[in-house]
Chain A
Amino acid sequence: MKNITVVGVGYVGLVSGACFADLGNHVVCLDIDKKRVENLKQGILPIYEPGLEELVERNVKAGRLEFTTSYADALKTAEFVFIAVGTPSDVDGQADLRYVRMAAESIADAMDHSMIIVNKSTVPVGTGDWVADIIRNRRPDAPDFSVVSCPEFLREGAAISDFMNPDRNVLGSTDPDAAEKVAQLHLPLRSTIMITDLRTAEMIKYASNAFLATKISFINEISNICEALGADVSEVAYGMGLDRRIGPHFLNAGLGWGGSCFPKDVKALAFMAETEGRHPHLLHAVMDINADQRKAPIRKVKELLGGTLQGKKIGLLGLAFKPNTDDMRDAPSIDIARSLLREGASVRAYDPVAMDVARDSLPEVTMMKNAYDVAQNADALILVTEWNEFKNLDLQRVRDLMAEAVLVDGRNIYDPAQVRAIGFKYLAMGRGYNGEGVES
């Protein structure tokens, strides 16, 4: 049992805090947002993550998980302080560290015994050193402390299982003893623990996300070439993926990546490179392709509807940037809905969990109760997020409800031959000439 404080009850902080508590530690989660903390005390979570609610409830009941807004309370017995606050990106892509700075300053002000400060937020390379400097400058008399970087590798929608069964835990510090102590916290997870220096640990996080984004943009570039040449990207990806040096993961062509990590991290990494006088060719290309990819469904719908979207009713199936999350940050659905509206269409949508969150950024989109209500009298449907419940829709019924049976499949979840047999005009992503499918 260790005493752990987690600063920030966003996605990373809450998952980490609840999981550390579940492993038997005593965890205090701190946030400066009073409303959030009040809600959490009543069991109301600020985010949707499968399994998290139950985990929080169980550990609160067992007295291992507490919430507070007071640094003094939170740090009283803390041996480890995890910083898990947000690091949004600036307009130019630079990570905005104001919350990290505020956390570091507040920790400095409140600390009255030595502790290990663990940075879990995704921060630019060099931030760990910067945090240490902030504390030292503010409190020249501060008790001993060390800074350890421990980047999170949680996937939204699978975060608890990712925390409990990690591929690896990366720890970086200039103080090997401190890194060793943080490693001890992670021992129950029985994963590979890699201890390295501070800056390298910070870089590993960015490089991992940038590489995964690169894979997706790569297959999307191939998908566009497939459409021009009459090949099928799903076959190509399968064929490629069987090469062990490539592997089958992250090669699904579609509407590209979004969410709170990839866009921000790729941008921040490119910004770091530029700051250091390096031109990040590849990262720029990865971002350009992703931006372009969101225009494809507009083009396709327009084509199937005879060249104009003026006055058309378009339905979106799925809004979240990927399934099993309500995260709408930088979701393709936002760009797609706004383009459709700009072109004079009316837009309605259904998403199993993201509609409440989506209303803020998409006030002009009508939210419906289910996929069939979206289809009712619609001129076209765009499958935006590949939620499981869309994979086996009664497509016959969908077609009968629609004014025009037009379907654009942004995630290649349907079988082109089957959908056409039902009577849809159907286009997918990268499957044959113009996405029309390949005869086999």
Chain B
Amino acid sequence: MKITIFGSGYVGLVTGACLAQVGNHVVCVDIDEDKVARLRQGEVPIHEPGLDAIIAETAANGRLVFTTDAAAGVAHGQLQMIAVGTPPDEDGSADLSHVLAVARTIGQHITDYRVIITKSTVPVGTADRVRDAVAESLAERGVTIDYDIASNPEFLKEGAAVGDFTKPDRIIVGCDSDRAETLLRELYMPFNRNRDRVLVMDIRSAELSKYAANAMLATKISFMNEIATLAERVGADIEQVRIGIGADPRIGFHFIYPGIGYGGSCFPKDVRALASTARAVGLQPALLDAVEQRNFAQKHVLFDKLNQHFEGQMAGRTIALWGLAFKPDTDDMREAPSRVLMEALWTAGARVQAHDPVANAECRRIYGERADLQLSDDPYTALDGADALVVCTEWREFRSPDFADISRRLRAPVIFDGRNIYDPQRLTEEGIRYYCIGRQQ
């Protein structure tokens, strides 16, 4: 099939590459000339395991093409996917200007039947606005051309996006036309061999499914963090509580890890956008607001523990940080808990020596060169002369470290573990003072 994808960000690239890999002809359109030029040279602007290889392979055999030419893009694919960014406005609502601009562009150029699919995470009702935007462009041109609208939200996890696309739990298609449904079912056939995973529903329910899924996952995390703060106070062990409640299949073991809060480009944005949507229609989203508040509070937990340990004497301290990305296997630092911690440390007059396996460059891009931030390529050199080690991201390489070496390098052996990846008893045996989340210290 011929497919055009607008937007060569995270979603657009993964979608384009995976669709090209199974034999489709995909054109990726982006207005950023520099980005397109780099993609043509095989330079992939995001870190995603396995993606580089698929892009290299499909670009080499001509099935994946990058361009800035929107008209050529509209001419190419019967399926037109909109995968541009929807950054949040100040009130948390999603900014749809890019999505609607693409819709108008499509309306300006189409000459025959197209299915216009919103893949970006967009508020409920956006597909209808896309339909109107296309209709306006057609009216300006004074032509009548048949087209359909569909919503096909992505469910990709950063760090596991290729696997998520090719082996999905479910594929949600919201549409109101048989013709569009047939085309979308055909599109997803290659990823649907094990059993039918395509769920067809009305457009608005499809749009809301995406927000509801992310909000539920964020709720699970905030729930566990709320229980963790309580467990700490009443002398229970949140890791045991996690195992006890997860064994109930109505709860399950997924996504109930206590920690220092969720971040990234999806959960914070989507929870806020959904809450903002609710408010816009006169509803008070009590639970979503509470999820957000708990997450905000949770990101400050590590600093509070540090501050308490050092009895408020943070000025002049050096703190080693392991992990900067909001989660492992990504370089994404948007809304990462590490940022809240670093900024609090700097405000308190402390220095940070940090190491992340892939996010060091991203950190440098965000904060630039500064005297109180030293980024280290090696996790152990980040420890030299530091007053404490703080684990912010549970990268695999941090899970079984050389504790003796850690103790040697730190000025005093103390670890603050924001992800509960170590065994408290083991650390006590190693002579390390250990702080973690929701467990007895």
- Please indicate the chain B residues that have their CB under 8 angstroms from the CB of A61 in the complex: none
- Please indicate the chain B residues that have their CB under 8 angstroms from the CB of A167 in the complex: 247-249
Residue of A nearest to B128 (CB): A230
> With contacts A243-B213, A244-B169 known, is A203 near B227, CB below 8 A?
yes
- Asked whether B247 lies within 8 Å of A214 as measured between CB atoms, the reply is no
**What 1/0 mask marks residues of chain B from 217 to 242 whose CB sits below 8 Å from any chain A CB?**
10110110011011101111100110
- Asked whether B287 lies within 8 Å of A231 as measured between CB atoms, the reply is no
- Asked whether A229 lies within 8 Å of B208 as measured between CB atoms, the reply is yes
Determine if B403 is an interface residue (Cβ-Cβ < 8 Å). Answer: no
A280 to B248, CA, bound (A): 23
Determine if B415 is an interface residue (Cβ-Cβ < 8 Å). Answer: no
Determine if B404 is an interface residue (Cβ-Cβ < 8 Å). Answer: no
Mark out the residues of chain A between 247 and 294 whose CB falls within 8 Å of any chain B CB in the assembled complex.
247, 249-250, 269, 272-273, 276-278, 280-286, 288-289
Of A204, A229, A247, the contact of B254 (CB 8 Å cutoff): A247
> With contacts A167-B249, A197-B237, A204-B241 known, is A239 near B170, CB below 8 A?
yes
A282 to B285, CA, bound (A): 11
Determine if A236 is an interface residue (Cβ-Cβ < 8 Å). Answer: yes
**What 1/0 mask marks residues of chain B from 5 to 25 whose CB sits below 8 Å from any chain A CB?**
000000000000000000000
**What 1/0 mask marks residues of chain B from 197 to 219 whose CB sits below 8 Å from any chain A CB?**
10101101111110011011101
- Please indicate the chain B residues that have their CB under 8 angstroms from the CB of A242 in the complex: 169-170, 197, 199
- Asked whether B125 lies within 8 Å of A229 as measured between CB atoms, the reply is yes
Determine if A142 is an interface residue (Cβ-Cβ < 8 Å). Answer: no
A437 to B124, CA, bound (A): 16
Residues of chain B at interface, number, CB under 8 A = 66
A438 to B174, CA, bound (A): 12
Of B204, B219, B230, B236, the contact of A214 (CB 8 Å cutoff): B219
Determine if A210 is an interface residue (Cβ-Cβ < 8 Å). Answer: yes
A202 to B235, CA, bound (A): 11
**What 1/0 mask marks residues of chain A from 5 to 33 whose CB sits below 8 Å from any chain B CB?**
00000000000000000000000000000
Determine if A246 is an interface residue (Cβ-Cβ < 8 Å). Answer: yes
Of A199, A231, A238, A272, the contact of B207 (CB 8 Å cutoff): A231
Determine if B243 is an interface residue (Cβ-Cβ < 8 Å). Answer: yes
- Asked whether B281 lies within 8 Å of A229 as measured between CB atoms, the reply is yes
Residue of A nearest to B278 (CB): A225
Of B170, B213, B241, B249, the contact of A207 (CB 8 Å cutoff): B241
Q: How far is the CB of B437 from chain A (nearest CB, A)?
A: 14
Q: How far is the CB of B291 from chain A (nearest CB, A)?
A: 6
Determine if A226 is an interface residue (Cβ-Cβ < 8 Å). Answer: yes
Mark out the residues of chain A between 216 and 233 whose CB falls within 8 Å of any chain B CB in the assembled complex.
217-218, 221-222, 224-226, 228-232
- Asked whether A208 lies within 8 Å of B251 as measured between CB atoms, the reply is yes
Q: How far is the CB of B52 from chain A (nearest CB, A)?
A: 26
> With contacts A153-B248, A203-B234, A247-B250 known, is A285 near B213, CB below 8 A?
no
- Asked whether B230 lies within 8 Å of A273 as measured between CB atoms, the reply is yes
A438 to B254, CA, bound (A): 32
- Asked whether B294 lies within 8 Å of A281 as measured between CB atoms, the reply is yes
**What 1/0 mask marks residues of chain B from 297 to 333 whose CB sits below 8 Å from any chain A CB?**
1000000000000000000000000000000000000
Determine if B60 is an interface residue (Cβ-Cβ < 8 Å). Answer: no
Of B155, B199, B215, B294, the contact of A282 (CB 8 Å cutoff): B294
Of A194, A228, A238, A280, the contact of B230 (CB 8 Å cutoff): A280
Of B202, B217, B293, the contact of A231 (CB 8 Å cutoff): B202
Residue of A nearest to B226 (CB): A282
Determine if A74 is an interface residue (Cβ-Cβ < 8 Å). Answer: no
| Total A-B contacts with CB atoms under 8 angstroms apart | 221
A225 to B233, CA, bound (A): 35
Q: How far is the CB of A267 from chain B (nearest CB, A)?
A: 14
- Asked whether A225 lies within 8 Å of B285 as measured between CB atoms, the reply is yes
- Asked whether A218 lies within 8 Å of B277 as measured between CB atoms, the reply is no
- Please indicate the chain B residues that have their CB under 8 angstroms from the CB of A439 in the complex: 202
A249 to B250, CA, bound (A): 5
Determine if B286 is an interface residue (Cβ-Cβ < 8 Å). Answer: yes
Residues of chain A at interface, number, CB under 8 A = 67
Identify which of B125, B229, B286, B294 gathers the most chain A CB atoms within 10 Å of its CB: B286
A239 to B152, CA, bound (A): 12
A229 to B278, CA, bound (A): 9
Residue of A nearest to B274 (CB): A225
- Asked whether A288 lies within 8 Å of B286 as measured between CB atoms, the reply is yes
- Please indicate the chain B residues that have their CB under 8 angstroms from the CB of A247 in the complex: 249-250, 252, 254
- Please indicate the chain B residues that have their CB under 8 angstroms from the CB of A281 in the complex: 226, 289-290, 293-294, 297
Q: How far is the CB of A171 from chain B (nearest CB, A)?
A: 10
Determine if B190 is an interface residue (Cβ-Cβ < 8 Å). Answer: no
- Please indicate the chain A residues that have their CB under 8 angstroms from the CB of B163 in the complex: none
A432 to B217, CA, bound (A): 24
- Please indicate the chain A residues that have their CB under 8 angstroms from the CB of B202 in the complex: 231-232, 235, 438-440
- Asked whether A221 lies within 8 Å of B201 as measured between CB atoms, the reply is no
Q: How far is the CB of A170 from chain B (nearest CB, A)?
A: 5
Of A197, A230, A231, A240, the contact of B213 (CB 8 Å cutoff): A240
A62 to B254, CA, bound (A): 44
Determine if A58 is an interface residue (Cβ-Cβ < 8 Å). Answer: no
- Please indicate the chain A residues that have their CB under 8 angstroms from the CB of B289 in the complex: 281, 285
Mark out the residues of chain A between 182 and 204 whose CB falls within 8 Å of any chain B CB in the assembled complex.
192, 194, 196-197, 199-204
A384 to B279, CA, bound (A): 28
Q: How far is the CB of B195 from chain A (nearest CB, A)?
A: 11
Residue of B nearest to A168 (CB): B247
A226 to B277, CA, bound (A): 11
> With contacts A204-B240, A239-B170, A247-B254 known, is A228 near B278, CB below 8 A?
yes
Determine if A212 is an interface residue (Cβ-Cβ < 8 Å). Answer: yes
Mark out the residues of chain B between 240 and 287 whose CB falls within 8 Å of any chain A CB in the assembled complex.
240-241, 243-245, 247-252, 254-256, 274, 277-278, 281-283, 285-287
- Asked whether B250 lies within 8 Å of A204 as measured between CB atoms, the reply is no
A212 to B288, CA, bound (A): 16
- Asked whether A201 lies within 8 Å of B244 as measured between CB atoms, the reply is yes
A194 to B240, CA, bound (A): 9
Residue of B nearest to A246 (CB): B216
Determine if A126 is an interface residue (Cβ-Cβ < 8 Å). Answer: yes
Determine if B172 is an interface residue (Cβ-Cβ < 8 Å). Answer: yes
A285 to B243, CA, bound (A): 25
> With contacts A224-B283, A242-B170, A281-B293 known, is A125 near B234, CB below 8 A?
yes
> With contacts A218-B215, A281-B294, A440-B202 known, is A208 near B277, CB below 8 A?
no
**Known contacts A217-B287, A289-B286, then 18 further A-B pairs from the complex at CB < 8 Å, ordered by chain A residue:** A126-B234, A126-B235, A203-B231, A208-B248, A211-B251, A214-B287, A218-B287, A221-B287, A235-B202, A236-B205, A245-B255, A246-B217, A247-B250, A247-B252, A247-B254, A281-B290, A285-B286, A286-B287
Interface residues of A (CB under 8 A from B): 125-126, 153, 167-168, 170, 192, 194, 196-197, 199-204, 207-208, 210-212, 214-215, 217-218, 221-222, 224-226, 228-232, 235-240, 242-247, 249-250, 269, 272-273, 276-278, 280-286, 288-289, 438-440
4 smallest CB-CB distances across A and B, nearest first, come from A204-B244, A228-B281, A239-B209, A168-B247
13 examples of A-B residue contacts, CB within 8 angstroms: A125-B234, A125-B235, A203-B230, A207-B244, A208-B245, A211-B256, A218-B219, A224-B278, A228-B283, A232-B201, A237-B212, A239-B170, A247-B250
